Structures are given as structure tokens and as C-alpha cells.
Amino acid sequence: MSDLKHECGLTAIYHLQGGTPSPLCPPAGPNEASRLIPRMLLDIQNRGQLSAGMTVWNPDRSQLLATHKEVGSVSEVFRMSHRGKFESLMEQHCGPAAIGHVRYATCGAEDRGYAQPLERPHIQKRKWFAFGFNGQLANYPELREEILADDDNHLARENDTEVILHAIGRELAGDAAPTPTEVLATLARRFDGAWNLALLDACGQMIIARDPLGIRPLEYAQHGQLVAAASESVALLNLGFPPESIRSLEPGTALIIDGKTARVERFAEAPRRAHCFFEWIYFANVASTMDERSVYLSRKRLGEELARLETVPIDEDTVVVPVPDTSKAAADAMAYRLAIPSVEGLIRNRYTGRTFIDGAASRRQKAESKYTPLREVLEGKRVILVEDSIVRSTTMRVLLGRMRTLGRAREIHVRIACPPIIAPCFYGIDMSTIDELFASRFLPDGRLTEEAQAEMAASLGAESLRYLPVESVARSIDLPEAALCQACITGRYPTPAGERLYQLAASQSETVGRTYETATRG
């Protein structure tokens, strides 16, 4: 799935006033808690490598909010390989509170103007804020049209983040001074889709909010006076927060920090959940736990599901090979249940970068250099190749070809630890047209049959191919199907705007751009 793109990741840190400084704080002290943000962002770099940034609040300087952001990886943006430049950046952007962001573009251009956090300066401190956004608004086209209906309005960027910026600004306008929960309640009534927010204002107030469906994960923790939040628990665990202190923010609630206290408040009712199942299957770090469900254990159970369905004859020349790295837990579990070796027949070059950053041709070139087949492991073997999913099939085709020509594998049987992707995602994963999806061409009615899988195997150049059935997902994650968003494998969307975009995508005879971008033009 290296040709699949995620959206963004959030981090936040706040050292509360008073009390004993947390031992987790940097040696420089509570007023430089912001130094922890780059370290946290590195732990969620898997969620976006296009740009990175942070905004820091410091009441002891005239520039109350200071934002640093750039296109590039976390280490590039924060100059982490150059000690002097990194220290200079940290000195310029120091403070007791900060928010951070990593981004991949599900909409909008690849330039610094789209990097986050976005900052909105204002003469009044409560109206001067910066925020980062994780997710995607399915009703972005309608919100954009609503803003531009007034000829006096203008949007400089083509993405939903700027729409959110103006929506928050509108709620803060005037003299009413609404509470954070009042602002978020209004946004919840207007927004359709996935929208986790980390907001910091010039008064030193921080708001970490999770949308009422909980589509994207959001974790938080407190240890003494230090409070932190991140899209994934691994960023908190690696800072030193005890595992028992890390919690998932409930959908429809916000962590609100005013400098001296941190509290969780509900801003919207959340009668149902729609957690994105892909978080457990692929996107999240395998060391993370989200909504009290371990990513590693979920992937392990997916492998056990694959083993239960396996029909390939097993002999002494049969091996299981994972596609590095996120397939390893599933592959190992599958091999253990089948009592055959799980071997590293593909070695990943970790310095080529993630292929999702580039276009299709470049993705293919990078895939060719990214994985090296080991002939010593593969030659003459019947290989059961385990992968997380097939989206566009670019990487899989390259892998199969190289495993045959360079690895000299005798047979390759592809096993996918996920059901077929048959429908677009409009909640933050960049697969928004139907005809780009490999499986949709073979499953026009959505039914997974042996005949269809045989056709797909022949198309890829494999001896056989097998997907997991939809019901395996909920069993593996250990959540009821009703609590998961499985729109991309079922065609059933948890929100009205998502359903409308799917109908639009289904009606398009050919790819003319991402569906939500087409909607803004149509």
C-alpha cells in the first residue's frame, strides 16, 4: 500500500503553570516544553511527509504566537541534522505550549502556503489563533460555495483547512466571546466528515477536539503538570508518559487547557462511532493503541484470519513473505498458524522515501528501488506474499515482477490482509475516484467471488490471490462493525455528504480529478 496516501497528524504539548515541573519536560524547563514537538512529530511521520510545522505560545515575548513550518520531512523542516540550526529554531520558538502538524495533501497544492498550522493574527488576543487539522470535510464543496456566495469573500487556497480557518474566525467575531464548547458545537452542526483539531490562541488557551464520529484517532495524557496530545499513542509513550495515563479522546469531546487546568468537555452528542478501520490495518504505527485497541494485535489477528482461509498446498518449499513493513505482524501470525517459515524475502531500502509523495510514474520507479528481492530466500520457493491491501496495484505489480526475475520464486500466491477496496474515501485518505481502484474493475457489484479473485491474480501475474472478507475486519480489531467506517470496502458511508460524493464518483465516466474537487467545479 505504499502508493496510498494518508492525510495528516497532530501533536500538542502544554506545561501547566504552578506545581512541580514534570520530569518529562526538557532540561531547559517548562518554558521550553515546545522542544518536545519535533520529537513527537517524528513518531507520527508515517501520517504525512509533505510538510511539517509547529506554533508556539509564549507570554513573555511580543510575538505571542510564533509559527515555523515548511515543505519537507520533520527532520528537514526542523533542521534536526544540524545541531546549531536546530538549537536556533528551538530558541526562537520556545514556550510552555505548542501544537504540531505533519501533512500529506489530500487536497490543495504541495507548497508552503498549505503547510500547517495555519495562523490567523488579530489585534485581540482571543481572536489570534493557530490550528492544525487532521481529516477531511466531505461537505467542503458546499462550505466553499457558501463562503464565495458573497462577492466580498475570497479563498486563497483550495482546501478545507482554509474553510475551517474562516469558520472558526466567524465564531470568534464580535464581542460575544463564546466558550470553546460553544464554538465547537457550532462547527459540529456545520461540518460533515472527519475533523480533529488542535488549536492554540494568543491567550494561551489550547483546544484539542475530536469529531463526533471519531473517524480519526486522537490520544492524550497528563503526567504532573505536563499535558500532551497526539494522533497516535506512540508519540506520548515515547515521551515517557506511563501507558496507563494515555487515553483516547472520546468522539464529540475536547481537551481544553487554559494554562492552569486541563479538562475534557463534551461539545456534541456522539450516538454512534465510525472509526476508520484502515488506521489499524495500515496507517497507524504498529506500536500504537487507539480507542483501547492495539494496532499490533489487530494485525496479528488479520494474519490468523488469512491462515484460516488458506488452501495452497503446504510443503517444505513453501514460505510466507511479508511486504515490509506494516504487513509483518499479519504475515508472522499467518505463518505461525500454518507452521511454515515467515522469511524476509523482500528487503526494504529505508532511504528511498515513501512512494506516495510522487506521481504514478515516479511511484513505480521508487517501488523498483525500494524493495530488493533476496534470491537466496525466494529461489525455487512457493511464496505466500502477504500485503496490507491493494489500492491502485502499482507497487504490487512491480514487486511480483522483481520477485520472479530477480528472486526466481517458483510460485507467488498473494494474500491481502484486508477486503478489496471498491469505493473512494472522502474522510482523509487519498483515493477519491472509483476507476483508480484496482479491485473495483473486477467487482462491479461489490461481491467477492473465487472467479473475480482468479481474474485479479492473472492481471497481476500471480498464481492466486485472496482477500479477507469484510466480516474479518471487525473481528480482528475487536470492535462491532457498527462502530467502524468501512465505506471503502462496503460502499456505505457514515455521513450524508460522503454518500453524495460517492454517488457523484459513481456517475463519473472517467477520472477528471478528485471527486471533492470536481464537486467544487460542478
What CATH architecture applies to the domain 296-521? 3-Layer(aba) Sandwich (3.40)
Q: At what angle do helices 180-190 and 160-172 cross, to 10 degrees?
A: 130
Residues in the chain, overall count = 522
The pLDDT value recorded for residue 75 is: 96
Task: List the pLDDT tens digit at each of the 522 positions of the chain.
Answer: 445 555 699 999 999 998 888 999 998 899 999 999 999 999 999 998 899 999 999 999 999 999 999 999 999 999 999 999 999 999 999 999 999 999 975 454 567 888 999 999 999 999 999 999 999 999 999 999 999 999 898 988 888 999 999 999 999 999 989 999 999 999 999 999 999 999 999 999 999 999 999 999 999 999 999 999 999 999 999 999 999 999 999 999 999 999 899 999 999 999 999 999 999 999 899 999 999 999 999 999 999 999 999 999 999 999 999 999 889 999 999 999 999 999 999 998 877 654 443 445 555 676 677 899 999 999 999 999 999 999 889 889 999 999 999 999 999 999 999 999 999 999 988 776 788 899 999 998 888 999 999 999 999 999 999 999 999 999 999 999 999 999 999 999 999 999 999 999 888 745 445 555 555 544
Residues of the chain with CATH 3.60.20.10: 8-271
CA angle 459, 331, 425 (to 5 degrees): 60
Record the cell numbers describing residue 446, joined without a space: 461489490
The pLDDT value recorded for residue 1 is: 47
Residues of the chain with CATH 3.40.50.2020: 296-521
CB contact at 8 A, 102 and 52 = yes
| Listed residue (182, 396, 471, 418) closest to 299, CA to CA | 418
Contacts for 153 with CB less than 8 Å, ≥ 6 apart: 147
Strands, E assignment, 210-303: 219-223, 226-230, 247-248, 253-257, 262-266, 275-276, 289-290, 293-294
Fold that domain 8-271 belongs to in CATH: Glutamine Phosphoribosylpyrophosphate, subunit 1, domain 1 (3.60.20)
Exposed / middle / buried, residue 109 (Cβ in 10 Å: 0-12, 13-18, 19+): exposed
CB contact at 8 A, 407 and 115 = no
| Listed residue (365, 458, 463) closest to 409, CA to CA | 463
Indicate which residues carry an active-site annotation: 8
The pLDDT value recorded for residue 436 is: 83
CB contact at 8 A, 453 and 460 = no
Query: What residues form DSSP beta bridges with 10?
Result: 101
Query: What residues form DSSP beta bridges with 254?
Result: 209, 265
| Listed residue (254, 114, 128) closest to 203, CA to CA | 128
Q: What is the pTM of this model?
A: 0.92
Residue 408 neighbours by CB distance under 10 Å: 13
The pLDDT value recorded for residue 431 is: 72
**Whole-number Cα distances in Å, 21 to 239, 443, 476:** 15, 58, 41
CB contact at 8 A, 34 and 61 = no
Sign, CA dihedral 392-355-427-289, equals: positive
The CA R_g of the chain, rounded to the nearest whole Å, is 23
